[in-house]
């Protein structure tokens, strides 16, 4: 073969690889760890930390994931003893499959023993990047959650400017706003790029079953109550990773729509963890404590139905209007197209799209980034909670997929053609599916510009 032809072939192969993106109805594993390790300044300081018990390998569990530019943020609340750093990141294109976590914004803020004044980050569970390049979280303030359960601080909202890595807000959530039994493990932020000061945070309290609304401009927070924040007593049974347990967790999964062209309002989609139903409320309602107290300001969207169809963390792809959510009981990811004209939220439209009993064993968090990529962290939490993780096998994973590929040819795909309801037998069904796929391809809507995707994670075989 002539050299020039060979070059062309190689280019052609590479090009095809790029244009295909991630596989349809799948997530690609980007990182995986047996145990988490951290980027100490030197091996000596790492050994010292181990000797002092400040770092106990195997005790760190990643809970939350969030993505900004080439940083993949990973929260590691201090569940067990010896968690050296609770807020971290790795570089998206890190060449290692199990990169060491880099403390954010620095090591000093992670040192619980230090007597120096300054920020101490104890236990953030999940984070949210806003439209103004800021990283928000609620630090629960509790140390050694699984063992001594030492409360160091009242829960605090922490906000970092990602461009300067500076803390721009540290604000306590007063005890009077929280029920006695409270657990804050999530946050979402509502702000527009042209008015960064007018930011609103919606903070679900999954044990307290209330929503805390915080206005940055007014530096004011209030508690919102609604019966839709409650759990369903018939959806509290879980059987995950070989363990059977009950959780009665209320409002937990929250996602925001883009701003409506007609009304200028956004919609907050929310659900309790131990429930099968999904609800929606306009942020115009939440931003006014009086309106937020009105039962009829909230809307029931419908139910995923089925059994063990609890949904966890969720996030909306602004390009397609598809809501992605974890299905922790099913080791799976689900989706629902909020832009679909039927507006029906049901077992027909809210469907499971990715399932894997190994790689999605407890999908703890899910985010859709600005480039319409779905990111998931899975961590086998029920095994850690009820027993202990096996440090000789992979326990933690970060996976991603391009939103339009994840939903391709599913009811969340805008080009999906629903199969007929009558049954023609297996032969016909197969032909129909084949047809449907061809039609879907022919009628493909414009895709999000690939130029929007600046960094593509390095992939491993």
> Least distance in Å: CB of 82 to ligand NAG?
32
Name which position in 195, 217, 244, 357 contacts ligand NAG (CB under 6 A).
Answer: 357
Q: Nearer to ligand NAG by C-beta: 57 or 297?
A: 297
Q: Nearer to ligand NAG by C-beta: 127 or 376?
A: 376
Which tokens in the block code for residue 258? 């883009």
Altogether, the residues listed in the chain come to a count of: 461
Query: What does each C-alpha distance from 383 to 176, 207, 389 come to in angstroms?
Result: 34, 21, 6
> Least distance in Å: CB of 242 to ligand NAG?
9
Q: Nearer to ligand NAG by C-beta: 195 or 288?
A: 288
Q: Nearer to ligand NAG by C-beta: 48 or 288?
A: 288
> Least distance in Å: CB of 38 to ligand NAG?
33
Strand partners, 116: none
DSSP 361-394: SSEEEEEE-TTSEEEEEE--HHHHHHS---TTS-
> Least distance in Å: CB of 291 to ligand NAG?
5
- Rounded Cα–Cα distance for residues 61 and 64 (Å): 10
> Least distance in Å: CB of 288 to ligand NAG?
4
Which tokens in the block code for residue 420? 């007929």
DSSP 302-326: EE--SSS-----EEEETTTTEEEEE
Radius of gyration of the chain from its Cα atoms, rounded to whole angstroms: 22
Interaction mask 273-312, ligand NAG, x per CB under 6 A: ---------------x-xx---------------------
Interaction mask 232-271, ligand NAG, x per CB under 6 A: ----------------------------------------
> Least distance in Å: CB of 284 to ligand NAG?
9
List binders of ligand NAG among 366-405 (CB under 6 A).
Answer: none
Q: Nearer to ligand NAG by C-beta: 87 or 216?
A: 216
Specify whether the CB–CB gap between 159 and 134 falls below 8 A.
yes
- Rounded Cα–Cα distance for residues 167 and 192 (Å): 20
DSSP 29-40: EEEEESS--B--
Q: Nearer to ligand NAG by C-beta: 288 or 447?
A: 288
Placement of tokens 């993949």 in the chain: 72
Q: Nearer to ligand NAG by C-beta: 310 or 315?
A: 310
Strand partners, 160: 135, 167
Interface size with ligand NAG, residues (CB under 6 A): 4
> Least distance in Å: CB of 430 to ligand NAG?
21
> Least distance in Å: CB of 385 to ligand NAG?
18
Specify whether the CB–CB gap between 126 and 75 falls below 8 A.
yes
Q: Nearer to ligand NAG by C-beta: 28 or 291?
A: 291
Specify whether the CB–CB gap between 24 and 441 falls below 8 A.
no
**Closest to 400 (Cα-Cα) out of 19, 33, 67, 102:** 67
> Least distance in Å: CB of 171 to ligand NAG?
20
Q: Nearer to ligand NAG by C-beta: 178 or 406?
A: 406
- Rounded Cα–Cα distance for residues 5 and 451 (Å): 28
> Least distance in Å: CB of 357 to ligand NAG?
4
Q: Nearer to ligand NAG by C-beta: 17 or 306?
A: 306
Question: CA geometry: angle at 269 spanning 199 and 455, to 5°?
Answer: 70
Whether residue 393 has a cis bond before it, omega within 30° of 0: no
- Rounded Cα–Cα distance for residues 73 and 65 (Å): 6
Placement of tokens 């363990």 in the chain: 243
Interaction site with ligand NAG (CB under 6 A): 288, 290-291, 357
């Amino acid at each position: 073969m002539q050299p020039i032809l060979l070059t062309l072939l190689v280019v052609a192969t590479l090009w095809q690889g790029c244009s295909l993106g991630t596989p349809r109805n799948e997530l690609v594993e980007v990182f995986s760890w047996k145990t988490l390790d951290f980027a100490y300044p030197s091996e000596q300081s790492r050994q010292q930390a181990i000797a002092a018990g400040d770092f106990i390998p195997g005790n760190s569990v990643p809970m939350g994931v969030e993505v900004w530019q080439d940083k993949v943020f990973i929260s590691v609340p201090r569940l067990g003893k010896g968690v050296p750093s609770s807020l971290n990141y790795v570089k998206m294109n890190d060449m290692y499959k199990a990169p060491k976590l880099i403390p954010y914004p620095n090591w000093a803020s992670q040192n619980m023993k230090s007597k120096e004044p300054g920020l101490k980050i104890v236990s953030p569970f999940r984070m949210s990047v806003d439209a103004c390049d800021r990283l928000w979280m609620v630090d629960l303030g509790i140390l050694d959650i699984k063992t001594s359960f030492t409360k160091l601080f009242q829960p605090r909202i922490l906000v970092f400017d990602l461009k300067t890595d500076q803390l721009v807000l540290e604000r306590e959530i007063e005890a009077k706003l929280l029920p006695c039994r409270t657990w804050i493990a999530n946050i979402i932020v509502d702000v527009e790029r042209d008015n960064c000061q007018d930011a609103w945070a919606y903070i679900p309290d999954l044990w307290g079953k209330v929503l805390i609304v915080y206005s940055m401009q007014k530096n004011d927070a209030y508690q919102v109550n609604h019966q839709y924040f409650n759990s369903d007593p018939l959806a509290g049974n879980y059987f995950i990773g070989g363990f059977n347990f009950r959780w009665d967790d209320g409002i937990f999964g929250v996602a925001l729509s883009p701003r409506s062209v007609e009304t200028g309002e956004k919609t907050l989609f929310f659900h309790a963890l131990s429930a099968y139903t999904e609800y929606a409320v306009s942020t115009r309602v939440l931003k006014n404590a009086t309106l937020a107290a009105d039962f009829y300001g909230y809307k029931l969207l419908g139910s995923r139905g089925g059994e063990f169809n609890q949904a966890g963390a969720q996030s909306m792809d602004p390009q397609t209007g598809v809501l992605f959510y974890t299905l922790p009981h099913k080791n799976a990811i689900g989706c629902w197209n909020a832009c679909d004209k039927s507006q029906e939220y049901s077992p027909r439209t809210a469907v499971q799209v990715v399932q894997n009993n190994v790689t999605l064993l407890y999908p703890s968090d899910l985010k859709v980034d600005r480039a319409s990529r779905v990111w998931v962290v899975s961590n086998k939490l029920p095994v850690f909670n009820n027993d202990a993780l096996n440090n000789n096998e992979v326990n933690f994973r970060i996976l991603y997929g391009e939103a339009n590929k994840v939903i391709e040819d599913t009811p969340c795909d805008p080009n999906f053609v629903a199969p007929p309801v009558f049954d023609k037998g297996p032969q016909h069904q197969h032909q129909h599916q084949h047809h449907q796929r061809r039609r879907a391809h022919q009628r493909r809507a414009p895709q999000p510009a690939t130029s929007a995707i600046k960094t593509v994670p390095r992939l491993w075989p």
